[in-house]
Amino acid sequence: MTSKMTRPAAVTFDAGNTLLYCDPNPSEIYAAQLSRRGRSVHAKEVGPVFRQAWAEMQSRTSPGQDRYSSAPGGERAWWGDFVKEVLGRLDHDAPWEPLLDDLYAAFSDDGVWRVFPETITTLSELRTRGLALAVISNWDRRLPDILRSLDLIDWFEVVTVSAIEGVEKPSPEIFQRTSSRLGVDPSSTLHLGDAPLEDYSGARNAGFAAILLDRHDLFVDQPYRRISSLDEVLEIVDSTMTGPSVFSF
C-alpha cells in the first residue's frame, strides 16, 4: 500500500519511548521493589519475566480493546493482575498488595520519567511550522499528570489516552477521535511512534501517514518509513512543504 501526503496539518505522537522514557527502567524499578519486600532479585532476572507477563496480560484483551477499563476493578486491578503474573513467574515471596502499592507509587513519581533530549526542540520546531500537535497513547489514567510534571502537556492541543477513551492502539478509533478533535483530516495527519503494530500499522489503518521511530535500528531491513531520532521528522515535514513534493511509503 502506498500512501501519499502533501503538507501535513498535524503530527501525533506516541508517548512511551517516543517522547519520554522511564529511568531507571521498569525492570530495575520492579527488582528494587521486589527486593525490599522479599528475596533479592536482579533486574536481569526480572527483565524477561516482565516482558512475558506483559505479553500474557496483553493477550487477555483483543487488539484495540482497552486493557485497563476492560478489567473488572479498573486499571489498578489490571496492574494487580500484572504484579501477580510477575510474582508467579519469578516464584517470588513478596506479598502482592503492598508490592502493588509500592510499584504504583514508584511509577507515579515524577522523578522516574525523562524526556528525550530532542523532544522539546522537535515539538517547538513543528509548532513554528504551524502544525497542530497531539499525543495518542496506550497508557493508564496517570499519563496527563506525567506530561504535566515534565512540562510537556502545553505543547499539545489534544492528549488521547487509551484508559480514558476505552479504546487503544492499534484500533483506528483512537486515531480518528484524535484527528477529529484536532479538526484535521486523517490524511493530513502524521503519526510517530516506536511500535510497529500499535503505532505504524494502527495509524496507517486509520488513514494517517506514519513514521516508525526506530531508535535502536531494529527494523532497518523492514519496509517501514523509519527515523532513528525524533528530530529527523523535521526534514521529512519540510520536504512536504517546499513545492509539489510528497512523501511516499
Contact residues: Mg ion, CB under 5 A: 14, 16-17, 194
CA 54-57-224 angle, 5° bins: 55
**Least distance CB 134 / Mg ion (angstroms):** 15
**Least distance CB 22 / Mg ion (angstroms):** 11
Give the pairing type, strands 189-193 and 209-213: parallel
Nearest to 119 by CA among 234, 41, 25, 243: 234
Peptide bond into 24 cis (omega under 30): yes
Nearest to 123 by CA among 131, 238, 138: 131
Between 19 and 94, name the residue whose CB sits nearer to Mg ion: 19
Give the pairing type, strands 226-227 and 209-213: parallel
Between 14 and 75, name the residue whose CB sits nearer to Mg ion: 14
Between 81 and 194, name the residue whose CB sits nearer to Mg ion: 194
Q: Do residues 57 and 82 make contact, with C-beta atoms less than 8 angstroms apart?
A: yes
Tell the residue number behind the cell numbers 484524535, with chain if given.
178
**Least distance CB 19 / Mg ion (angstroms):** 9
> In whole angstroms, how far apart are CA 238 and each of 120, 130, 242, 248?
18, 12, 7, 14
Q: Quote the cell numbers at residue 172.
A: 483506528
**Least distance CB 14 / Mg ion (angstroms):** 4
Between 116 and 249, name the residue whose CB sits nearer to Mg ion: 116
Between 17 and 176, name the residue whose CB sits nearer to Mg ion: 17
**Least distance CB 4 / Mg ion (angstroms):** 26
Between 85 and 194, name the residue whose CB sits nearer to Mg ion: 194
**Least distance CB 2 / Mg ion (angstroms):** 25
